[in-house]
């Protein structure tokens, strides 16, 4: 039996939040375990029952999406965060990614796109669309608008680790990468863990940024 994806939501617009909860709970593989009006309330709700993925509104009272993402990323290793916003703005995108989010969705997206974002995040660790594309990330870095910092930028990655980064950027799952490289899934997981340790990236989106910054990923 496939395990349901546990999702938590922080969104200050009550009607939008209620509609989102209803849509997500209508999917057989998803269960909303917490919904809150701001980041502080959400953090209190998920103690003892940590979600797999969190949907955060960018602008909220008390504790906004960016600050909430930073706290969650630090407290819960492996938690995945998607940012929600009314605004399609590069500044919000880069702030979201810098705070630990692995994707950005505007609230006018339809249900299919939201499910696609969730599926992508759970399967490959991040969600890319036109707003968070590799081209946009490269342009923002080149313009100095986003300056990702890595703990061990000079530590040499192996040939296999670099290839894993390239395949991750092409949105292959761990299983697909293992088949392409003719190596076991556990071996690929080991490569990913080593990449995280060597680069200091906090999540898959950070690995993609590292790959772009260091010329491993061609854009």
Average pLDDT over residues 121-146: 69
Final residue before a domain boundary, out of 99, 132, 165: 132
Distance CA 202, CA 208 (A): 11
Read off the pLDDT band of 196 (50, 70, 90).
confident
Final residue before a domain boundary, out of 112, 132, 152: 132
Answer yes or no: is 218 within a domain. Answer: no
Q: Do 161 and 187 have their domain in common?
A: yes
Asked whether residue 17 carries a pLDDT value surpassing 90, the answer given is: yes
Q: Do 98 and 178 have their domain in common?
A: no
Answer yes or no: is 120 within a domain. Answer: yes
Asked whether residue 125 carries a pLDDT value surpassing 90, the answer given is: no
**Reported pTM:** 0.75
pLDDT-above-70 percentage for the chain: 87
Count of other CB atoms within 10 angstroms of residue 149:
10
Average pLDDT over residues 34-63: 93
More confident residue, 70 or 125: 70
CA 11 to chain centre: 18
Q: Do 43 and 126 have their domain in common?
A: yes
CA distances from 110 to 1, 32, 102 (A): 28, 18, 19
Q: Do 103 and 153 have their domain in common?
A: no
Q: Which tens digits make up the pLDDT trace of 56-88?
A: 999 998 899 999 999 999 899 889 999 998 877
- What range does the domain containing 111 cover? 5-132
Q: Do 122 and 151 have their domain in common?
A: no
For position 189, what pLDDT does the model report?
93
More confident residue, 196 or 13: 13
Read off the pLDDT band of 93 (50, 70, 90).
confident
Q: Do 109 and 9 have their domain in common?
A: yes
Asked whether residue 6 carries a pLDDT value surpassing 90, the answer given is: yes
Q: Do 87 and 147 have their domain in common?
A: no
Answer yes or no: is 219 within a domain. Answer: no
Average pLDDT over residues 46-63: 92
Total structural domains within the chain: 2
Q: Where are the beta strands (DSSP E) in the chain?
A: 5-10, 30-36, 53-57, 80-85, 104-106
pLDDT-above-90 percentage for the chain: 51
Answer yes or no: is 97 within a domain. Answer: yes
Final residue before a domain boundary, out of 132, 163, 182: 132
Q: Do 109 and 47 have their domain in common?
A: yes
CATH number of residue 26's parent domain: 3.40.50.2300
């Amino acid at each position: 039996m496939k395990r349901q994806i546990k999702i938590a939501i922080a969104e200050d617009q009550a009607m939008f939040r209620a509609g989102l909860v209803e849509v997500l709970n209508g999917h057989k593989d998803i269960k909303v375990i917490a919904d809150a009006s701001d980041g502080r309330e959400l953090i209190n709700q998920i103690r003892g029952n940590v979600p797999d993925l969190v949907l955060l509104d960018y602008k909220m009272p008390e504790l906004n999406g960016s600050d909430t993402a930073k706290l969650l990323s630090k407290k819960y290793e492996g938690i995945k965060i998607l940012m929600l916003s009314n605004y399609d703005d590069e500044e919000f995108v880069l702030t979201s990614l810098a705070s630990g989010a692995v994707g950005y969705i505007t609230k006018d997206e339809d249900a299919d796109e939201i499910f696609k974002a969730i599926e992508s995040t759970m399967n490959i660790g991040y969600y890319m669309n036109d707003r968070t594309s590799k081209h946009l990330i490269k342009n923002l870095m080149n313009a100095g608008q986003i300056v990702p910092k890595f703990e061990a930028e000079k530590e040499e990655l192996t040939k296999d680790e670099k290839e894993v980064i390239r395949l991750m950027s092409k949105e292959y799952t761990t299983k697909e990468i293992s088949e392409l490289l003719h190596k076991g899934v556990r071996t690929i997981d080991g490569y990913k863990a080593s990449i995280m340790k060597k680069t200091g990236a906090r999540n898959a989106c950070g690995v993609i940024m590292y790959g772009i910054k260091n010329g491993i990923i061609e854009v």
